[in-house]
Amino acid sequence: MRSLQAKLGMGLFLSLMAAFILLWIFISVSMRYVIEDYIYSRLAHDAETLLAAVSKNTETFTVDVARVGAVYQQPFSGHYFELARSGEILRSRSLWDVQLQYGKTTSTLVERQYGSGPQGQPLLILVSQFVKNDVPVQIVVAEDLSPIEAAISRFQNQFSITIVAILLSLVLLQVWLMRRGLRPIKQVQHDLGELEAGRIRSLQTDVPQELVPLVNEINHLHNALESRLARHRHALSDLAHALKKPLTVIQQLSTDERLRELPEISSILQRQSETTAQLIHRILTRAKLAGAAQTGRVFDFNEDLSNLLDTLQMMYRDKALRVTMQIPDQISTRMDAHDMLELLGNLLDNAFKWAKHEIKISISQTDKLHIVIEDDGPGIPAESCTAITQRGKRLDEQVEGHGMGLAIVGDIVDDYQGELNFKGSEALGGLRVTLLLPR
């Protein structure tokens, strides 16, 4: 799953990098253009100076060295010129009789070119066409670009280091700002965990405007689910209480003297009324256990399991069963307390019902929650393990019950995408129930 913060941070980083690369290219190109334009203007000035220094002596032409800068007299100084008139070529002493390498000239009066110098160095060349004393004169002035290239390279390196430092600073600043901006989402995430654990009743609405609709919808959904679940539980309890009165009437009728002449009908009425009474008692017991847990509260092994065992031991106090438990100190689950009480209540009730002397409960936690319940009862045949969770299925009609408990357990386990397995207990000889639930 991709992180929203990582996605935004990567997008910002790539955007800043692209912007800085474009800025680096623009500044480098602009800097080169400005420097070359400055050199070009200086070469144009030197060309005009050379034109003024040209003098005619009989049939040849010369240049007044005194009017030309000394830099053109120093060999390989990086400043060169060539003058051409009527097939004659006059070169600066700095060329040391080496011919400048540049492209062919056109008919334009002024032309900028790039070429190579006497030592292979890059040159910026200005080729100018003049007419002096009715005679065409071509003046070529060049300057070495090597120092400029070195200066630009140093600038680019320093600018790159500065750009990287600024980029890293901006990225760190944006990461800090992003974390600060996403902090309300972290708070909502924390509140959701608190809401799931039952420690709060609703999410805080003091959140940024963009999160208000989400928080309101979650609160509305939670309240609706909580209200619906509470109504269902109350309706179940009310139904059980409502059935007690007509059931009492049926029980009284089953012992009426007028039914002595119909013993079969009397026996059926008594048996069915007792079964119905047991069913109502179980429903009321589950409602009582669920009433101790608030809607949305997660199951607490230390408190809820102890209360559940106390209730079952009171219900089966005539059997004097010994219950041993192996539970780690640090163990938790995110299952709803009511669902867990319903699940463990049915499994433990089944164990209490069939056990003779001992029940063993083992709980461990790895990537899943492992719950093992064993008893020393008669157990069940291996071929019946798959059918035991079918609704209304009872393997022994002589024992009181209605066959719905383990079916309810199967439904809850399926809802939580868990696993439920039945087999014989090697340690106690009865039934071993293994329950695997996601953490």
pLDDT tens digits for range 96-110? 878 888 777 666 688
pLDDT at residue 13 greater than cutoff 70: yes
* Lowest mean pLDDT, pick from 39-53, 73-87, 207-221, 269-283: 269-283
Mean per-residue pLDDT, 384-405 = 48
Q: Residue 164: how many CB atoms within 10 A of its CB?
A: 12
pLDDT at residue 224 greater than cutoff 50: yes
pLDDT at residue 399 greater than cutoff 50: no
The order of strands in the sheet holding 322-326 is 322-326, 358-365, 368-375, 431-438, 419-424
Mean per-residue pLDDT, 360-373 = 89
Name the pairing type of β-strands 79-85 and 135-144: antiparallel
Token duo for residue 194: 């608190």
Give the pLDDT band (50/70/90) at residue 293.
very low
Nearest CA among 139, 51, 133 for reference residue 88: 139
Nearest CA among 410, 421, 414 for reference residue 370: 421
**Predicted pLDDT at 428:** 85
CA distance linking residue 119 with residue 107, whole number of Å: 29
Exposed, middle or buried by CB within 10 Å (0-12, 13-18, 19+), for 51? middle
**Predicted pLDDT at 285:** 56
CA distance linking residue 258 with residue 1, whole number of Å: 74
Residue with tokens 């002397």: 357
> Looking at this protein, which amino acid is placed at residue 5?
Q
Q: For residue 433, give Cα distances in angstroms to 373, 378, 391, 405, 411.
A: 5, 14, 18, 14, 16
pLDDT at residue 404 greater than cutoff 60: no
Nearest CA among 237, 277, 238, 280 for reference residue 254: 277
* Lowest mean pLDDT, pick from 17-31, 233-247, 376-390: 376-390
Taking all residues of the chain, what is their mean pLDDT, rounded to a whole number?
79
pLDDT at residue 227 greater than cutoff 80: no
**Angle (deg, nearest 10), helices 183-197 and 146-181:** 30
Q: For residue 328, give Cα distances in angstroms to 255, 359, 361.
A: 53, 18, 12
Share of the chain above pLDDT 90, in %: 6
Contact, 113 vs 127, CB < 8 A? yes
Mean per-residue pLDDT, 247-263 = 73
**Predicted pLDDT at 161:** 92
Contact, 191 vs 203, CB < 8 A? yes
Map out the domains of the chain as residue ranges. Answer: 4-150, 193-296, 298-439
pLDDT at residue 327 greater than cutoff 70: yes
pLDDT at residue 402 greater than cutoff 70: no
Mean per-residue pLDDT, 174-192 = 82
Mean per-residue pLDDT, 248-268 = 74
* Lowest mean pLDDT, pick from 3-12, 257-266, 353-362: 257-266
Residues making up the chain, counted from first to last: 439
Q: Which CATH architecture has domain 4-150?
A: 2-Layer Sandwich (3.30)
**Predicted pLDDT at 183:** 81
**Predicted pLDDT at 393:** 46
Nearest CA among 135, 148, 143 for reference residue 81: 143
Token duo for residue 209: 């405007």
Mean per-residue pLDDT, 36-57 = 86
For 415-432, the pLDDT digits (tens) are 778 888 888 888 888 889
**Predicted pLDDT at 396:** 45
CA distance linking residue 13 with residue 235, whole number of Å: 58
pLDDT at residue 168 greater than cutoff 60: yes
3-state secondary structure the chain: CCCHHHHHHHHHHHHHHHHHHHHHHHHHHHHHHHHHHHHHHHHHHHHHHHHHHEEEECCEEEECHHHCCHHHCCCCCCEEEEEEECCEEEECHHHCCCCCECCCCCCCCEEEEEEECCCCCEEEEEEEEEEECCEEEEEEEEEECHHHHHHHHHHHHHHHHHHHHHHHHHHHHHHHHHHHHCHHHHHHHHHHHHHHHCCCCCCCCCCCHHHHHHHHHHHHHHHHHHHHHHHHHHHHHHHHHHHHHHHHHHHHHHCCHHHCCCHHHHHHHHHHHHHHHHHHHHHHHHHHHHHCCCCCCECCHHHHHHHHHHHHHHHCCCCCCEEEEECCCCCCCCCEHHHHHHHHHHHHHHHHHHCCCEEEEEEEECCEEEEEEEECCCCCCHHHCCCCCCCCCCCCCCCCCCCCHHHHHHHHHHHCCCEEEEEECCCCCCEEEEEEEEC
Name which residue leads in pLDDT, 33 or 210: 33
**Predicted pLDDT at 22:** 92
Give the CATH number of domain 298-439.
3.30.565.10
